[in-house]
Structure formats: structure tokens, C-alpha cells
Amino acid sequence: MTPFTEEATSKVVDTPSGQVHYHEYGEGRPVVFLHGSGPGATGWSNFSANMKALGSQFRCLAVDMPGWGRSAAVTPAERCHHRTAVEFLDALQIESAAFIGNSMGGATCLKVAATAPERVTHIVTMGAGAGGSKLFGPADGPTEGLKVLQQAYRDPSPESMRALVDVMTYDPAFASDALAEERSRNAKSVPHHLENFITGIGKDRPHRATDAELASISVPALIIHGRDDRVVHFENGLKLCTLIPDSRLLLLNRCGHWAQLEHAEEFNRSVAGFLAA
């Protein structure tokens, strides 16, 4: 098996959406991991620990989506992550895969399952949003966590990233200075990613699955949400579980936006069992 290091698992592949960088580890049925939208987010930063744990059972593929990490820079108008996800499978000659996504990555998983169901075996989302009216959270505009995220795009300093990792997590032990500094370095390494994201703030997101599309999803779905998520309120998880026919909801107390980090052992155990069923 490939040594488990950031560089040893690093690969690139060309797609119609541009060059896509990803990390590959493990053998078995393919599982695609899709990161969230925060500045400095990458497949490795979001999922390295989960890949290490699950790589003994699955072929883990953690992708930097276009506009993030080492993948191609794209404008908001050019960005279409669910299309890129299918192109990524095509490029690797993978007929179908399980998809795991955090936040924005979760939204992409849902859209792929709705629009290309033949390419998806299972979906797992963590902190994913659902469109439409909500009972809780702000009536209009971004949540507390999204405001911090947007500010970190405008000022990707370690101090801004410290505020970001703090609002993303429930337990301060997971909001380390080292993580904040890593995210700051990642974000500053490709200024075009920052600039392109900022130009898209406040604009429509046409690539999120509609309620009708969510209701059409036929593959098994595991919806994971933190009870204390300050970025995407847990009522989004309730709505997803209501709309998606073959779904189940794992709601975790003392958990923020990064369930895969804060509750890694339970996350890995639950995902492994779900994908094996």
C-alpha cells in the first residue's frame, strides 16, 4: 500500500473542468471525499485522518475541487462541482463510487446523486445545507459561521483562520493554532482561489439540489450533523432526512461543523458500517 503521507498520496488528473488534484490511499470499493468551501480547505486538510482509518477497507480518493487546493482556478461562473465529480470518475475509469462530503462537498454529493444516480452507490454528508425556508437561524443573510468564513477569505491571516476554526468546532481542543496556520498557508498559496470566491459571495448557487431533486434521490444516504453547528444549522439535516427517501440521520451532541474531525472514531465506524451494508 502507498505510504500514508501528503506527498506520497498526491496525484493529478486532467478533466474537462481543468486539472484536478487529489489524494489516493487504500484498496477496495472507491470512496470519493469532497471538502467544504472554507479558505484553505483541501481534500487532505478535511479528510486525511478519515482516509487513514478507512483505507484498510476502501479506495479513498480525497479531491481538491476546482477553485481550491492544488486544482485549477475557476471563476464562480465556471464552477460546477457536480459536473466535475462525474468527470473525475470518468478520468479514473470508475463506473460508480460512494461519495462523502462536508458542507459544500455534501451539497455536491447530493446534486450528483440526483442528476447522475448511476454513478453513485452511497452518499454521506456532514453539515450539508438544504435550500428553501428554515425555522431557525437568520431569516436572511449568512449565519454566524458563514460570516466568519467570508471574512477569512478577505483576510486569510492566521488570526482570521483562528476565528474560522473556532467557529467550525465545538471543542476548543480541535481549533488549534497549528490548524489555523495550515489553513492560512493553504489559502495564501493560490491567491486566485481567494479572489474568485470573493466575487461569488452573495450570488445565487444554481448547483445546489432542489427539494424535488432531493426527493428523487434513490441511493442510500447517511446524513450526519453536529447539534452545535454554527455554520449550517442542524435543521438542514432534519430537512434532508425528511426529503431523501432512503436516508438516516446521525445527530451528534457536542459537535460543530466538522463531525469527521471532532467525532472521528464514531464517524469512521458509522461510515464503514453504512458503506458495507
Q: Which of 23, 35, 81, 257 is catalytic?
A: 257
257 a catalytic residue:
yes
- Name residues whose C-beta falls within 8 Å of residue 195's C-beta, 6 or more positions apart in sequence: none
Secondary structure (H, E, C), the chain: CCCCCCCCCEEEEEECCEEEEEEEECCCEEEEEECCCCCCCCHHHHHHHHHHHHCCCEEEEEEECCCCCCCCCCCCCCCCHHHHHHHHHHHCCCCCEEEEEECHHHHHHHHHHHHCHHHEEEEEEECCCCCCCCCCCCCCCCCHHHHHHHHHHHCCCHHHHHHHHHHHCCCHHHCCHHHHHHHHHHHHHCHHHHHHHHHHCCCCCCCCCCHHHHHHCCCCEEEEEECCCCCCCCHHHHHHHHHCCCEEEEEECCCCCCHHHHCHHHHHHHHHHHHHC
The number of angstroms, rounded, from the C-alpha of 151 to the middle of its chain's C-alpha atoms is 20
- Identify whether the C-beta of residue 256 lies closer than 8 Å to the C-beta of residue 262: yes
List the catalytic residues: 257
